[in-house]
Structure 1
Amino acid sequence: MGAVTRLIDDIDVLGSKGLPREDFFAEVSARVRTVIDNDAGCWHTLDPSTRLLTSDAPRELVERGVLTAEAAPAAGELIVRSEYMVEDVNTFAGLATRRVPVGILDHATRGNPESSARYRDVLLPADIPHELRGAFVIRGRVWGAVHLARRAAGGPFQPRDAEILAALTGSIARGIRASLRFDAARRITGADAPGMVVLGPRDEVELITPPAREMLAALRPAGGRYTDETVATPVLALAAFVRSAPDGGKSGGNVVTVPARDGWLTLHASLPGSPEDGRVAVVLERAGGARSATVRLEAFGATAREREVATLLARGLSRAEIAEALVVSPHTVEDHVRNLYEKVGVTSRQELVARVFLDEYLPEVVRQTPLTSRGRFDLA
């Protein structure tokens, strides 16, 4: 394991450089190949709150001849479908919940990969029958994921490969988080008009506004052959989630903040018609400036106690757990939550997190927030 230990240290150093995320992925992928034989990898970021895909980086798949540039957009759409629209094994969200967040396709299907929609639709047509996947999780929060592909000549991935990837997940997660922080610091300033795209039931573009074209372009990965109306992965993922949610995402999860090449974007999805027609409207807008969560909450008029409640909501605590942490009654917590939602102009926990918190600003607020004996709010 000496080589793996050295690689973990190397990735930690790489992550501290604050590279743009696609550059970080390219550097990490080349290093991972020195310990896990693979033909190419496709890297993603995920939203820590909803576990939805927020970006993809298939450049290596194209550069190493696993996919053609023309095929990359369609493959991305099929990956989204296998993640959210059909039952499949080793989904990134599913891996993120495991104690060991990695999985080998051959093992998950018990030697019958044809039972996987992803295998049938994406891997087999591309002649890459062997797949190893990992989710990058620290402190219970997932920041990204990878699909490693191996052609038939290389043979199946082995448990040893999975063990090595599992050992790397924490350092890669730290690097992704750092990359996103630096990307946030490099974001553009100034207000931009929001854009809107309406997707049909098969994710065809029915309507798109000029600002949306520009923002969709900023969400697409480099290296593929995309048209002006190619829908980016985070938009497809959010649309799939809203379609599958029992209430169309009204209770939460229909608003996410995602990284783009030139900044951060907030996506708001809704069903403009009946759930049966499958149409989804997505509003895209530039995320706010780089201010701390404390200042942003104060700007909304939140009191000191409401800021504490907002922080604990962002960490995923229930109303009862918040009441226990703050030593107040559940009814008092409900009053604080109601006031927070009214002041910020949201209706759910997920909307509050998307509008107020980016993870790099959260520690500043948490310093003044009670910790349990288990240290569950420790963000280090």
Structure 2
Amino acid sequence: MAAAAVARDRVERLCRSATDPLALYRDVVRVLGRAVPSDLWCGLLLDPATVMNTGGYHDEGLPLEVLPRLLQLEVGSDDVNQLPALARARSGVATLHRGTRNRPELSARYRDVMVPAGVGPELRAVLRDRGRPWGAVILFRETGAPDFTEAEVELVAALAPDLAAAVRRTLLVSEVAHRDAEEGPGMAVLRVDGSRIRLELASRAAQVLMDQMPDTRIDGLPVGVISLVSRLTAAGGRRQSARVRLRTGRWMSVQLDVLEPADPNGVERLSLVVEPVAPYELAEVIAEAYGLTARERQVARLVVSGSSNLEVAATLSIALTTVQDHVKNLYAKLGVGSRHELTARMFFDQYLPRQLSRLPVGGDGWYLPARPHR
């Protein structure tokens, strides 16, 4: 109990002061190790709309050679404790052994990935804030080690909300420093030969943008891109896309499509396009990150399109005073004081070169002029 209490206190403090999600994962797992020991681990960043893996920290996780098969299973099979299912589950935290009733061999992930990697017990935690998944932490123990106990699962579940809120917040905290090469779009060609995926051609912009993706590399490609390839394959070659946040703080859209169908040798070529997220898409990301309710989003969309409070009330069939309350909440959550600033925050701020100043404030961690409301 003492170790768990100490771990919880330290993790909560780390969450309050975090400014980078991957550094947060490393610090948290290091502290958590005394109460919930693990031999390998990884921390993921997830697209809250699709639960797609868009990056993360894998340097202390499974061997790189098994990751392509893992990514195939994650998007192309029905296995135990997959991330989308966990994102909908009550606690969002589960172990493989409990999920299979102590018959882990029933899991293709266990047979094809974990056994070859020399690991047995697995604990997965999807990090949700305001009902949306922003990240995940996966812990492994070596073959023959005991499964994670109920107390260990409960501790991770108890810490998950704070960790999720911190991950969501750090996606907004990172300093934005645009460079001309990052304006995009960047274009590249991927060569797929069985499970081997490599970069065949790339524009300078594409290379710069991929270098900015916060992710482990396999043959020079971010794991998130390889995951997208697996998703395309599982979808029968239908175009796939995901939103990715770069180390600079920019949100980019990654789109993958079939350029040349597989030749007689089974070699296929895919086109990869990386470009800034469209303003309307970015507005949805910002709305998620700032925790806007469904009604607040409706009000915000009408306000930024030029509707007066009276027009918003008539359109949504709600009282004028209710609209005024929603607008007041929007201003508070997004840290703005006018309709002009609200529009800029939701559509244009992420495109402007800016340096976010950070001032420490008491127990609330880092203060930002546009800090997400908690």
Query: Displacement, 1:114?
Result: 2.0
Q: Distance in 1 between matches of 2:317 and 2:272?
A: 40
Query: Displacement, 1:97?
Result: 0.7
Contact 1:18-1:182 within 8 A present in 2 as well: no
Query: Displacement, 1:92?
Result: 1.4
Partner of residue 234 from structure 2, selected from 227, 244, 254: 244
Give the structure 2 partner of residue 317 of structure 1.
none
Query: Displacement, 1:274?
Result: 6.5
Residue 121 (structure 1) aligned with residue 115 (structure 2): no
Contact 2:118-2:143 within 8 A present in 1 as well: yes
Which structure: larger Rg? 2
Amino acid at match of 1:107: R
Contact 1:248-1:275 within 8 A present in 2 as well: no
Query: Displacement, 1:197?
Result: 3.0
Query: Displacement, 1:260?
Result: 2.7
Partner of residue 207 from structure 2, selected from 208, 213, 235: 213
Give the structure 2 partner of residue 152 of structure 1.
143
> How much is the aligned-residue C-alpha RMSD, in angstroms?
4.0
Contact 1:15-1:178 within 8 A present in 2 as well: no
Q: 1:201 to 1:293 in 2, by over 3 A?
A: same
Amino acid at match of 2:79: D
Contact 1:26-1:60 within 8 A present in 2 as well: no
Q: Distance in 1 between matches of 2:107 and 2:168?
A: 31
Partner of residue 256 from structure 2, selected from 269, 275, 299: 269
Q: 1:5 to 1:280 in 2, by over 3 A?
A: farther
Query: Displacement, 1:110?
Result: 2.2
Contact 2:215-2:224 within 8 A present in 1 as well: no
Q: Which runs of 5+ in 2 are unaligned?
A: 288-294, 303-312, 319-345, 351-371
Give the structure 2 partner of residue 42 of structure 1.
42
Contact 1:220-1:233 within 8 A present in 2 as well: no
Give the structure 1 partner of residue 30 of structure 2.
30
Query: Displacement, 1:16?
Result: 2.9
Q: Distance in 2 between matches of 1:235 and 1:279?
A: 14
More strand per residue: 2
Q: 1:78 to 1:246 in 2, by over 3 A?
A: closer
Give the structure 2 partner of residue 344 of structure 1.
none
Query: Displacement, 1:357?
Result: 9.6
Query: Displacement, 1:187?
Result: 4.2
Amino acid at match of 1:221: D
Residue 260 (structure 1) aligned with residue 250 (structure 2): no
Q: Distance in 2 between matches of 1:25 and 1:288?
A: 29
Q: Distance in 1 between matches of 2:12 and 2:315?
A: 33
Contact 1:134-1:146 within 8 A present in 2 as well: yes
TM-score, length-normalised on structure 2? 0.67
Q: Distance in 2 between matches of 1:205 and 1:263?
A: 26
Give the structure 2 partner of residue 281 of structure 1.
271
Query: Displacement, 1:107?
Result: 1.6
Greater displacement, 40-49 / 117-126: 117-126
Identity, in percent, stands at 27
1:295-342: per-residue Cα shift (whole Å, max 9, x none)? x99xxxxxxx9x837759xxxxxxxxxx999239xxxxxxxxxxxxxx
Give the structure 1 partner of residue 168 of structure 2.
177
Q: Distance in 1 between matches of 2:59 and 2:178?
A: 24
Contact 1:24-1:179 within 8 A present in 2 as well: no
Q: 1:324 to 1:8 in 2, by over 3 A?
A: farther
Give the structure 2 partner of residue 198 of structure 1.
189
Greater displacement, 262-271 / 129-138: 262-271
Amino acid at match of 1:19: T
SS in 2 for 1:154: coil
Give the structure 2 partner of residue 141 of structure 1.
132
Query: Displacement, 1:100?
Result: 1.2
Give the structure 2 partner of residue 19 of structure 1.
19
Contact 1:243-1:280 within 8 A present in 2 as well: no
Q: Distance in 2 between matches of 1:6 and 1:173?
A: 19
1:171-191: per-residue Cα shift (whole Å, max 9, x none)? 1101111222122x3443445
SS in 2 for 1:266: strand
Contact 2:171-2:249 within 8 A present in 1 as well: no
Give the structure 2 partner of residue 75 of structure 1.
66
Partner of residue 178 from structure 2, selected from 170, 188, 191: 188
Q: Distance in 2 between matches of 1:283 and 1:235?
A: 11
Query: Displacement, 1:38?
Result: 1.3
SS in 1 for 2:117: coil
1:103-118 aligned at under 5 Å gives the runs 103-118=94-109
1:212-264: per-residue Cα shift (whole Å, max 9, x none)? 23333332636x6x54xx32122122233334347925xxxx43221233443
Contact 2:215-2:223 within 8 A present in 1 as well: no
Amino acid at match of 1:92: L
Q: 1:78 to 1:19 in 2, by over 3 A?
A: farther
Q: Distance in 2 between matches of 1:171 and 1:98?
A: 18
Give the structure 2 partner of residue 64 of structure 1.
none
Contact 1:8-1:171 within 8 A present in 2 as well: no
